[in-house]
Amino acid sequence: MSRIKKRGLDYFPISTDFIHDRIVRRIMKSEGDAAVTVLVETLCSIYTNEGYYALADALFYEDLADNLYEKDAAYVQRVITLASEYGLFNSTLFREYGLLTSADIQRQFLFATKRRNISLIDERYYLLSPEEQTPAISSGKGKEHEEDTSKSPKANQETVPGENPQINSGKDREINPAVNSEKGSERNPETVLNPPKKKNCTKVKMQQLSL
């Protein structure tokens, strides 16, 4: 069986001054210190499941309330509603679709999944500019293309006829061995094995005198 492709993230960064953020402090002032736990659990749910959003329905509120002491689903809903009104989550998507997301969450999701083959965000919920999505989707392919090009030995070489020693040297030796040799014996091995016989001039002259 093929493995199910993971949608969410294994971890996500959180600012060290998250608890001192102005929005967080306003929510804490209104709903108490437990509001911080609700916000952190909400972010964990967003990044873990879909990666860039979470559906805030009755079941979602109850699940988060189960991890709190002396707090119910109504309390969780009040905290999340304030967070969307104050800008921690996008208020328009929360009102229309009941989705919890933001531009920072989507930006972090694209950055964390840029090595994946596909890291898309539904265009209905997209809060970033088109320029911010294109590099995150195409960088993996571009990187593979660069690696494939660098591995090819002919990638950065220009082929010029007659200037490749690996091609010309073998042909020259096969077609005309005399071109690559300096000694005549190497040009014609038969002249070394069977040298021409010299005529005996002295014997010829003696025969003429005797006549």
| Contact yes or no for 82/27 (Cβ under 8 A) | yes
In sequence order, the 6+-apart residues with CB closer than 8 A to the CB of 177 are 186, 187
Residue 190 lies in a domain: no
Q: Give domain status of residue 157, yes or no.
A: no
| pLDDT for res 116 | 80
Q: Is residue 129 assigned to a domain?
A: yes
42 within 8 A of 64, measured Cβ to Cβ: yes
**In-domain check, residue 189:** no
Quote the domain boundaries for residue 110.
Answer: 1-138
Along the chain (211 residues), what's the average pLDDT of each consecutive run of 10 residues? 71 91 95 95 94 96 92 96 96 95 94 80 86 50 41 43 44 44 46 51 52 48
Domain contains 45: yes
List, in sequence order, every beta strand (DSSP E) within 77-132.
99-100
Give a yes or no: residue 194 inside a domain. Answer: no
- Tell me, yes or no, whether 79 lies in a domain: yes
pLDDT at position 114 is 85
Q: Mind listing the pLDDT tens digit for each residue in 169-189? A: 444 444 444 444 444 444 454
Q: Quote the pLDDT of residue 75.
A: 97
**Structural domain contains residue 176:** no
Q: Alpha-carbon torsion 171, 174, 178, 181, what sign?
A: positive
Q: Structurally, how many domains does the chain consist of?
A: 1
pLDDT of residue 181: 42
The secondary structure element, H or E, covering residue 55 is: strand 54-55
What was the pLDDT predicted at 69? 87
